[in-house]
Amino acid sequence: MPRFSIVVPSHGVAGRLSQALDSVLTQSFGDFELIPVCDAPDAPAADVVTGYAERDSRVTPVHSPPSDGLAGARNTGLRAAVGGHVLFLDGDDVLVPGALAALDARLDGTGDVDVLYFEHERTPWWEGEPANPAAPLLARTPDGAFTPDRAPRLTGVTLPAWSAVYRRAFLTEQDITFPGDHFTDVGFGALVALRAERVAALRAVVVRHLLRRQGNRLGLPGEHHAELLDQTELVLTRAAEQDLPADRLNPLFEQLFAAVLKTAAHPRRLPSGRRAFFRRASALYRRHRPDGYRAPGGSLGVQHRLLASGSYAAFRSLRAANRTASRAAALLPRPRGLRTRLRYAAALRLPLDRNLVVYCAYWGRGYACNPAAIHAKARELAPHLRAVFLVEPDAVGSVPPGVEYAVIGSRKYWQVLARAKYLVNNANFADAVVKRRGSVHLQTQHGTPLKTMGADQATYPVVAAATGSFARLLARVDRWDYNLTSNRHSTEMWERAFPSTHETLEYGYPRNDVYCTASAEDVARVRKELGVPDGKKALLYAPTHRDYATGFETGLDLAEFCEAIGDDYVVLLRAHYFYDQGSSRGGGRIIDVTGHRSSEDVCLAADGLITDYSSIMFDYANLDRPIVVYADDWDVYRETRGVYFDLMELPPGRVARTPGELAAVFRDGSWADGTATSLRAAFRERFCQFDDGRAAERVVRRVLLGEPPESIPPVTPLAERVPAPAATLVRS
């Protein structure tokens, strides 16, 4: 039997789960079992956990459906545990180095206690000083093992479940599990404290808790706050049955109702049913108030007295009197220009137009990418919706005939942004755009991340300087309701890079649908439009942006490259979209396609791709055509930009480090040989999971038509997809 069973629920934390698991598996004390609790075998976290379970026999994953919540996940893990003591760790928290050794030593010193409480560090996700809220409470406890009556304020209510280690036999004998769905730590901690006979404390930090930047989920608005009263009633009823003495009952009562009053005093937490919440809390207060109980002083004491008397009107008046004007100031829209600001503010007071969808791609650079693909599918499946595409003045020409548009900054631009029910973007809307209640923001992204993104850029000075304010970036992220991903890797990385409360849609990228739906005739048409000569193999050269460089530079002499590989090839040069136009070189064998509006068309025309670290490789892999990575500055790029995985270890095909090596793989044919094919197959398995040709349909049905998740068409398996044919290559 292992010394410790460590239960780690993982719902919604796939992006940071590996940090939690690593913090356990790298402990110097190794006598434990690690029990990650995943939603389902195919959930994002399950992919992470599977690798750990294959490498370490101490990892024994179990499954609990999301509908069972945190309490259900912990109870499932507890039932699977066989260790002598149980420790609960949230999936985005970590054990500090030496934590298990310290717990083991303390348990050896105290003997067989039911509960060992310890300190934890609450670490702000972005800025601020860490805090240790348990330290003052545990500082007043006896040095050795003690009975609960010697520390009456140690009620368990204010301590999370992961701030203690529990004797498993004690939990089993007392039939203590996590109650309810929400505020389960309140009920569990209090029930443990009521039933424990011998406890001890370790005055050292064991768990480092990462404070979510959007706050505790329990602090968000919703009807779930009524469950705090359920937990309060459960605990106080058990205390009454146990005939808890007054010196222990009074602190328990006070701590429970401190939490209740905190909720009642924050109207945003209770969007409806505030009066009912207050009345039920008042009834519980009067029913369970200990004899001789004296309310605290100050404003909190006034709230106690109003709760005891059931005076909701007076309580509401007190709450209103304590508000400040900060909320109103925070909601004030601030587009530039007083007249524009006033017009936008007036439009925000009008009802949402529930049939209006606003689209934008690449900060208004034109009709392109995922927003354009979703727009096209919505015209087919949801013709009742009015769509407006936002574009910069110089991109108006890219908008196809019949597509309504608004120029960014114009009066119409602010009007549609204020009234639209749905807002779809592959980047972000302006900071001044207000997220209205009832509106739906869909972030489609515009690539799979190899390089670090969002908040993960903060540790790379060159990138961080260009990014600007991360606080403003994350404020824009907070407006998202949905975030689209094309593979499980993206799901995990976006969760790390853009932490917020949005829902992830693993539907694929709509812009990539064409790679499974285009015909040979479509490929021939595009090649003709681009000027690709008949019978020539077209190689798309698409280098990415360098944060440490200024301006566009290919890094490769294309004229010399064309001369070296022979007359059978032409090169399609497509610079990163940050640059209006790449420099054409070498005459007719180099075709500059930087200005072509559709990267999807360019990919369809190409028989092979040469890139460095551009995310285009992930999209192009859907075509199952050869890819060559030209990595002449990989070490510099990785050091200055930061990457999520080592591309040299997991390439989509052959890798060349010098112009000579690059030319050689085309001269000897190895760019498309069996080894290249095997590398591409593994790459496709990992990064082409959801791009099956029906991504746009899934998005329109779920987001714009509101169809339930279970009715959305499932993803077609990779082996059953038929990519668009290449012009000059025969796929085996």
Per-residue pLDDT tens over the stretch 339-349 = 777 889 999 99
> Could you give the C-alpha distances from 278 to 20, 302, 407, 455, in angstroms and in order?
39, 15, 50, 40
pLDDT at 424: 97
> Out of 342-351, 504-513, 551-560, which region has the weakest mean confidence (pLDDT)?
551-560
Compute the average pLDDT of residues 255-274: 86
Whole-angstrom distance, CA of residue 302 vs CA of residue 304: 5
pLDDT at 127: 61
pLDDT at 470: 76
What torsion, rounded to 10 degrees, do the Cα atoms 183, 189, 191, 192 define?
A: 150
Segments of 89-170 assigned E as strands: 94-95, 115-124, 164-167
pLDDT band at 355 (very low <50, low <70, confident <90, very high): very high
CB 261 within 8 A of CB 308: no
Q: What is the pLDDT of residues 440-471, one digit of tens each?
A: 999 999 999 999 998 888 777 666 666 667 77
Q: Is the per-residue pLDDT at 311 higher than 90?
A: no
Q: Is the per-residue pLDDT at 13 higher than 50?
A: yes
Q: What is the pLDDT of residues 183-241, one digit of tens each?
A: 999 999 999 999 999 999 999 999 999 887 665 667 677 788 889 999 999 999 999 99
Whole-angstrom distance, CA of residue 51 vs CA of residue 56: 9
pLDDT at 16: 82
pLDDT at 466: 62
Compute the average pLDDT of residues 682-689: 96
CB atoms within 10 A of CB 567: 9
Nearest to 448 by CA among 700, 682, 644, 715: 644
Cα end-to-end distance, the chain, whole Å = 53
pLDDT at 454: 86
Whole-angstrom distance, CA of residue 248 vs CA of residue 377: 64
Q: How far is CA 419 from the centre of its chain?
A: 27
> Could you give the C-alpha distances from 551 to 77, 554, 577, 581, 598, in angstroms and in order?
54, 10, 12, 10, 22
Q: What is the pLDDT of residues 591-645, one digit of tens each?
A: 999 888 889 999 999 999 999 999 999 999 999 999 999 999 999 888 888 899 9
Residues ≥6 apart with Cβ < 8 Å to 510: 370, 373, 374, 377, 444, 695, 696, 699
Both tokens of 55, joined, read 């490498």
Nearest to 578 by CA among 318, 281, 290, 365: 365
Residue 238 has φ and ψ, to the nearest 5°, of -65, -40
pLDDT at 327: 46
Could you tell me which residue, 360 or 334, shows the higher pLDDT? Answer: 360
Share of the chain above pLDDT 70, in %: 91
Whole-angstrom distance, CA of residue 481 vs CA of residue 554: 38
Tokens 């290449």, located at residue: 726
Residue 239 has φ and ψ, to the nearest 5°, of -65, -40
Whole-angstrom distance, CA of residue 586 vs CA of residue 560: 8
pLDDT band at 539 (very low <50, low <70, confident <90, very high): very high
> Could you give the C-alpha distances from 305 to 201, 289, 315, 468, 573, in angstroms and in order?
35, 12, 10, 49, 75
Q: What is the pLDDT of residues 66-95, one digit of tens each?
A: 889 899 999 999 999 999 999 999 988 999
Tokens 């998740």, located at residue: 709
Q: What is the pLDDT of residues 102-145, one digit of tens each?
A: 999 999 999 989 999 999 999 877 666 788 999 999 999 999 99
Nearest to 17 by CA among 54, 58, 61: 61
pLDDT at 641: 84
Share of the chain above pLDDT 90, in %: 69
Element (H, E) at 306: helix 298-309
Nearest to 88 by CA among 198, 18, 158, 168: 168
What torsion, rounded to 10 degrees, do the Cα atoms 91, 93, 96, 100 define?
A: -40
Residue 185 has φ and ψ, to the nearest 5°, of -65, -35
- Where do the H-state alpha helices sit in 2-147? 14-25, 44-55, 69-80, 99-110, 135-139
Nearest to 615 by CA among 417, 443, 414, 448: 448
Nearest to 498 by CA among 689, 91, 217, 213: 213
CB 437 within 8 A of CB 419: no
pLDDT at 594: 87
Compute the average pLDDT of residues 281-285: 93
Cross-strand partners of 638: none
Could you tell me which residue, 223 or 402, shows the higher pLDDT? Answer: 402
Element (H, E) at 684: helix 674-687
Q: What is the mean pLDDT of the chain?
A: 89
Could you tell me which residue, 294 or 724, shows the higher pLDDT? Answer: 724
Query: Which amino acid makes up residue 460?
Result: Y
Both tokens of 442, joined, read 């869909």
Element (H, E) at 558: helix 558-565
What DSSP character marks residue 456? Answer: G
Residue 442 has φ and ψ, to the nearest 5°, of -110, 120
Residues ≥6 apart with Cβ < 8 Å to 233: 284
Q: Is the per-residue pLDDT at 298 higher than 90?
A: no
Q: What is the pLDDT of residues 134-176, one digit of tens each?
A: 999 999 999 999 999 999 999 999 999 999 999 999 999 999 9
pLDDT at 584: 37
Q: Is the per-residue pLDDT at 242 higher than 70?
A: yes
- Where do the H-state alpha helices sit in 322-384? 326-331, 338-348, 369-381
Both tokens of 638, joined, read 């990785």
Q: Is the per-residue pLDDT at 563 higher than 60?
A: yes
Could you tell me which residue, 275 or 356, shows the higher pLDDT? Answer: 356
Q: Is the pTM of this model over 0.95?
A: no
Whole-angstrom distance, CA of residue 249 vs CA of residue 236: 9
Q: Is the per-residue pLDDT at 586 higher than 60?
A: no
pLDDT at 322: 57
Q: What is the pLDDT of residues 186-200, one digit of tens each?
A: 999 999 999 999 999
Tokens 């500055």, located at residue: 633
pLDDT at 578: 44
